[in-house]
Chains A and B, each alone.
Chain A
Amino acid sequence: MRAIRVRETFLGGILGVLALALAAASPAGADETCNSPYMGNLIKGQEDYLYVWALGVKSMGDGADKLVTIDVNPASSRYGKVIHKVSVRGRGEAHHMGFTDDRRFLWAGGLDNSRISIFDVGTDPARPKLVQTIADMPAKTGYVGPHTFYAMPGRMLVQGLSNAKDGGGVTGMALYSNKGELIATYPMPATGGGDGYGYDIAINPQKNALLTSSFTGRKNYMRNLGELVKDAEAMKRFGNTMAVWDLKAMKPKKVLSVPGAPLEIRWSLKDGDTWAITATALTSKLWLIKPDASGEWQAKEVAVIDDPTKIPLPVDISINKDGTGLWVNTFMDGKTRYFDLSNPEQPRQTYERVTGKQVNMISQSWDGTRVYIASSLLANWDKAGADDEQFVRGFHWDGKELKPAFEVDFYKEKLGRAHHMKLGSKAMKSAYGLERTATLR
């Protein structure tokens, strides 16, 4: 395995800024343009539903984590309204979700309790149903904090954030069958420049390449942020690497130095493109990952996001379908920014708008004209007081301006903190919903 030495000194310089920030952020990722390439049935027209994986808040409603369904079809009389919700057991730091390859089931993870909830979204896309819970991931794999759920043919690849032994950032991936049976585990590279950390997964089948990024362990992400940023030793324990894996062999090939917690990874979907992009949360940069002229994978810093010394904290990103534009949410200043990626070697910010007092997740429709934004990062990292807005906001994007379309106030609706979003469609129901079973048995 090839390796590059990792720089480790950048964190010291930002500790002071973070300490002053009072609140900060972590990560997340989703939307129609960032699904697994193995997924069928992409929604390329008007989506009907927005599934939101929400963190429960004590004494708010039933206090449990829940999957919330919002009607997002402008032609519907219920447009912008919550039409369904299904709670799971307790609060477990609801975070990310991912569809199975056939889009019939939606897997959703809890970073605190390490439970994986599997919802049936194929039988009735308007009314997801909890059909299975995987509760033994820590016992079976040694990994905790199931974060990214990435569809593979007949299987789900799950990236852990931490481990059951010490709650640090050394972790791995777990491969499950679509029926929820554990198939294999893959530790993140911890030698040859690797830090053993994990965060996101992104696959390019044509290049036989799997990319992973890195964040931090449970002891950090479950800690109060104000305390965390004052702990210099703890702040050293963030990921500084990405890894390129041989997808077929599921073996790490090369560790790339990408300092400052590289989070979401997005491959360009344009035919012929072989590059991916990521944003580093703590150093506020965009990095390009692509093979050089000799075919060797390289990571290259290509842009700064705002003023990194102010720690705007870039979190979720969303690439458009042809790889020419990238949305970047910065949590601290509540801004949604658009970068022109016409030249991915030199991204340029061309637009920004404050979309909330705190913003994390951003998802876009396949055609890019509809953009959805959610507010929450982590329960203990979200802002406090009046700045702790919890919402999902829908916007129209005409290429020049984000125009508000609807808003769901998650606190007012007693739903909790709005985190990851995935799109749904009635078309899934028309595929599976015929009522003729009796005539066939």
Chain B
Amino acid sequence: MGSSAPRRSADPRFGRIITVLAAVAALATAAGTGPGVAHEPDDRLPASVTMDFVPPPPGSYALHAIMRAPDGPVLDRDGRSRPLSRFTSGKITLLGFIYTSCADPRGCPLTSQVFHTVRHRVSEDPELRERVRLVSLSFDPARDTPAVMRHYAAGVPRNGVEWAFLTTELPRTLVPLLDGFGQDVRVELDARGRPAGPLAHVLKVFLIDERAVVREIYTTSYLFTEVILNDIKTLRLEDKMPRRAAP
């Protein structure tokens, strides 16, 4: 496009995330709470919004190519370094950023709850079971070590649907991923400019097709299981048709 975009090094989005991650690291040191667990769905968790409509059926609408999913090194729950692309291609992927100490019921726990429900529904569909994966990627590398992520994942039952719990070794390896997805992270500061509260972020869940292209982004206002499932089925129907060019 004919826009006058700034040079990469001048992009304030990049530097800002770096500085936020410094605060994240400081918070992780200062805070004393332990990591949570990706537990089973909890009906007591307040749903953020109510879906008051019948979503359009799969294949009746287009999911546009929004952007290519970024790539970079991540750590799996066993501490092995892998490219993120290993987890964003080859299957239809639902990816969300989390941090294990997140307690906001409208944040990471809501994502976890929706992921559990989607995973359960996918597991019951032989057409989808082997073709869909879930990814939870931490944006708190200082606290969410592979061991912590392994503990966090311990509550997830096996049902044949892949759910990867990933983290990164250092903030500098996480930053390009956050920047690439456009995922913000904020931390409140006290009067002296020190980190003084939990991480804050706009909840986003990314639907990624088998070629690592982001096709939909959900937030708290639109994180509806039925919509997500229909979108997954729409991508499956699309895969049976001639392929379009990646962005």
> 1/0 contact trace for A45-86 toward B, CB 8 Å?
000000000000000000000000000000000000000000
Q: Which residues does chain B contribute within 8 Å of A131, judged by CB atoms?
A: 6, 10-12
Query: Do B13 and A104 have beta carbons less than 8 Å apart?
Result: yes
Question: Given A136-B3, A206-B52, does the pair A154, B66 have CB atoms closer than 8 Å?
Answer: yes
Give Cα distance in the complex from A274 to B49, angstroms.
13
Give Cα distance in the complex from A209 to B53, angstroms.
9
CB-contacts of B172-221 with A (<8 A): 172, 182, 184, 186-189, 193, 200-202, 204, 214, 217-219, 221
Q: Which residues does chain B contribute within 8 Å of A248, judged by CB atoms?
A: 55-56, 61, 227
> Is A249 part of the binding interface, using a Cβ–Cβ cutoff of 8 Å?
yes
> Is A411 part of the binding interface, using a Cβ–Cβ cutoff of 8 Å?
no
> Is A231 part of the binding interface, using a Cβ–Cβ cutoff of 8 Å?
no
> Is A439 part of the binding interface, using a Cβ–Cβ cutoff of 8 Å?
yes
Give Cα distance in the complex from A274 to B50, angstroms.
12
* Closest-CB distance, B141 to chain A (whole angstroms): 11
> Is B22 part of the binding interface, using a Cβ–Cβ cutoff of 8 Å?
yes
> Is B2 part of the binding interface, using a Cβ–Cβ cutoff of 8 Å?
yes
Question: Given A139-B2, A155-B66, does the pair A436, B22 have CB atoms closer than 8 Å?
Answer: yes
> Is B19 part of the binding interface, using a Cβ–Cβ cutoff of 8 Å?
yes
Chain B: CB-nearest residue to A116: B3
Q: Which residues does chain B contribute within 8 Å of A37, judged by CB atoms?
A: 221
Q: Which residues does chain A contribute within 8 Å of B10, judged by CB atoms?
A: 131
Question: Given A104-B184, A153-B217, A205-B222, does the pair A434, B19 have CB atoms closer than 8 Å?
Answer: yes
Query: Do B182 and A154 have beta carbons less than 8 Å apart?
Result: yes
Give Cα distance in the complex from A437 to B21, angstroms.
9
Query: Do A177 and B66 have beta carbons less than 8 Å apart?
Result: yes
> Is B16 part of the binding interface, using a Cβ–Cβ cutoff of 8 Å?
yes
Query: Do A432 and B3 have beta carbons less than 8 Å apart?
Result: no
CB-contacts of A142-164 with B (<8 A): 152-155
* Closest-CB distance, A89 to chain B (whole angstroms): 10
> 1/0 contact trace for A12-48 toward B, CB 8 Å?
0000000000000000000000000110110000000
Question: Given A206-B51, A248-B55, A440-B18, does the pair A434, B23 have CB atoms closer than 8 Å?
Answer: yes
Q: Which residues does chain A contribute within 8 Å of B19, judged by CB atoms?
A: 432-437
Query: Do A431 and B188 have beta carbons less than 8 Å apart?
Result: yes
Q: Which residues does chain A contribute within 8 Å of B53, judged by CB atoms?
A: 206-209
> 1/0 contact trace for A120-133 toward B, CB 8 Å?
10110000010111
Give Cα distance in the complex from A251 to B56, angstroms.
11
> Is B9 part of the binding interface, using a Cβ–Cβ cutoff of 8 Å?
no
> 1/0 contact trace for A188-208 toward B, CB 8 Å?
000000000000000001111
Q: Which residues does chain A contribute within 8 Å of B56, judged by CB atoms?
A: 246, 248-249
Question: Given A179-B67, A431-B186, does the pair A206, B60 have CB atoms closer than 8 Å?
Answer: no
> 1/0 contact trace for A174-186 toward B, CB 8 Å?
0101111111100
Give Cα distance in the complex from A433 to B15, angstroms.
9
Give Cα distance in the complex from A352 to B247, angstroms.
53
Give Cα distance in the complex from A248 to B12, angstroms.
32
Give Cα distance in the complex from A439 to B24, angstroms.
13
Chain A: CB-nearest residue to B54: A208
Query: Do A432 and B66 have beta carbons less than 8 Å apart?
Result: no
> Is B96 part of the binding interface, using a Cβ–Cβ cutoff of 8 Å?
no
> Is A4 part of the binding interface, using a Cβ–Cβ cutoff of 8 Å?
no
Query: Do A129 and B18 have beta carbons less than 8 Å apart?
Result: no
CB-contacts of B1-42 with A (<8 A): 1-6, 10-13, 15-16, 18-23, 25
Query: Do B219 and A437 have beta carbons less than 8 Å apart?
Result: no
* Closest-CB distance, A185 to chain B (whole angstroms): 10
> 1/0 contact trace for B154-165 toward A, CB 8 Å?
000000000000
* Closest-CB distance, A316 to chain B (whole angstroms): 24
Query: Do A134 and B1 have beta carbons less than 8 Å apart?
Result: yes
Query: Do A437 and B3 have beta carbons less than 8 Å apart?
Result: no
Give Cα distance in the complex from A432 to B16, angstroms.
5
Q: Which residues does chain B contribute within 8 Å of A182, judged by CB atoms?
A: 1
Give Cα distance in the complex from A205 to B51, angstroms.
8
Give Cα distance in the complex from A104 to B23, angstroms.
18
Give Cα distance in the complex from A280 to B200, angstroms.
40
> Is B146 part of the binding interface, using a Cβ–Cβ cutoff of 8 Å?
no
Chain A: CB-nearest residue to B230: A248
Most chain B Cβ neighbours within 10 Å, of A136, A152, A431 = A431
Q: Which residues does chain B contribute within 8 Å of A430, judged by CB atoms?
A: 188-189, 193
Q: Which residues does chain A contribute within 8 Å of B222, judged by CB atoms?
A: 38, 153, 205
Give Cα distance in the complex from A299 to B198, angstroms.
44
> Is A140 part of the binding interface, using a Cβ–Cβ cutoff of 8 Å?
yes
Most chain A Cβ neighbours within 10 Å, of B1, B65, B170 = B1
> Is A389 part of the binding interface, using a Cβ–Cβ cutoff of 8 Å?
no
* Pairs of residues from A and B, 5 with the lowest C-beta to C-beta distance, nearest first: A431-B186, A436-B22, A136-B2, A249-B61, A153-B217
Given contacts A120-B12, A140-B1, 15 further A-B contacts (CB under 8 A): A102-B182, A123-B12, A131-B10, A136-B2, A153-B204, A154-B182, A207-B53, A246-B61, A427-B188, A431-B20, A431-B187, A435-B19, A436-B19, A439-B22, A440-B172
Q: List 30 A-B contacts (CB under 8 A).
A: A37-B221, A38-B221, A104-B184, A120-B13, A122-B12, A123-B12, A135-B4, A153-B219, A154-B217, A155-B217, A177-B66, A177-B67, A180-B3, A183-B64, A205-B221, A206-B221, A207-B53, A208-B51, A248-B227, A251-B61, A430-B188, A430-B189, A430-B193, A432-B16, A433-B19, A434-B22, A436-B22, A439-B22, A440-B21, A440-B171
Residues of A within 8 A of B (CB): 37-38, 40-41, 101-102, 104, 120, 122-123, 129, 131-136, 139-140, 152-155, 175, 177-184, 205-209, 246, 248-251, 274, 427, 430-437, 439-441
